Amino acid sequence: MSPPTMVQKPVGSVGNLKTPVVRLDSGANDTQVSFADWEKFNFAPIRESTVSRAMTKRYFNDLDKYTESDIVIVGAGSAGLSAAYVLAKNRPNLKIAIIEASVSPGGGCWLGGQLFSAMVMRKPANLFLDELEIAYEDEGDYVVVKHAALFMSTLMSKVLQFPNVKLFNATAVEDLITRRDESTGELRIAGVVTNWTLVTLNHDTQSCMDPNTLNANVVLSTTGHDGPFGAFCAKRLESLRPKSANEPFELGGMRGLDMNKAEDAIVKGTREVAPGLVIAGMELAEVDGSNRMGPTFGAMALSGVKAAESVLNVIDIRKKQNESCYGGSQN
CB contact at 8 A, 266 and 297 = no
CB contact at 8 A, 285 and 257 = no
State the CB neighbour count (10 A cutoff) for residue 48: 7
Chain-centroid distance of CA 35 in Å reads 37
- Residue (100 or 288) nearer to ligand AHZ, CB: 100
Instruction: State yes or no: 293 annotated in a binding site.
Output: yes
CB of 326 to ligand AHZ, least distance (A): 24
**Across the strands, what pairs with 167?**
98
The stretch near ligand AHZ (CB under 6 A) out of 38-46, 70-78, 115-123, 176-184 is: 70-78
Instruction: State yes or no: 101 annotated in a binding site.
Output: yes
- Residue (76 or 187) nearer to ligand AHZ, CB: 76
Does the protein bind ligand AHZ through residue 302 (CB under 6 A)?
A: no
Chain-centroid distance of CA 296 in Å reads 19
CA distance 26 to 301: 39
Pick the closest to residue 162 from 232, 214, 88, 267 (CA basis). 88
Pattern of binders to ligand AHZ over 258-287, x per CB under 6 A? Answer: -----------------------xxx----
Among positions 229, 278, 321, 322, the unique one binding ligand AHZ when judged by CB under 6 A: 229
Q: What is the number of helices (H) and of strands (E) in the chain?
A: 9, 16
List CB contacts of 65: < 8 A, sequence separation 6 or more.
Answer: 95, 166
Instruction: State yes or no: 79 annotated in a binding site.
Output: yes
CA distance 6 to 265: 47
Does the protein bind ligand AHZ through residue 292 (CB under 6 A)?
A: yes
Pattern of binders to ligand AHZ over 180-209, x per CB under 6 A? Answer: ------------------------------
Pick the closest to residue 71 from 327, 314, 328 (CA basis). 314
Among positions 83, 119, 134, 172, the unique one binding ligand AHZ when judged by CB under 6 A: 172
Interface contacts to ligand AHZ, rule CB under 6 A:
74-80, 99-102, 107-109, 172-173, 222-224, 229-230, 232, 281-283, 292-294, 300
The annotated binding site is made up of: 79, 100-101, 108, 173, 210, 225, 282, 292-294
The annotated binding site for substrate is made up of: 79, 100-101, 108, 173, 210, 225, 282, 292-294
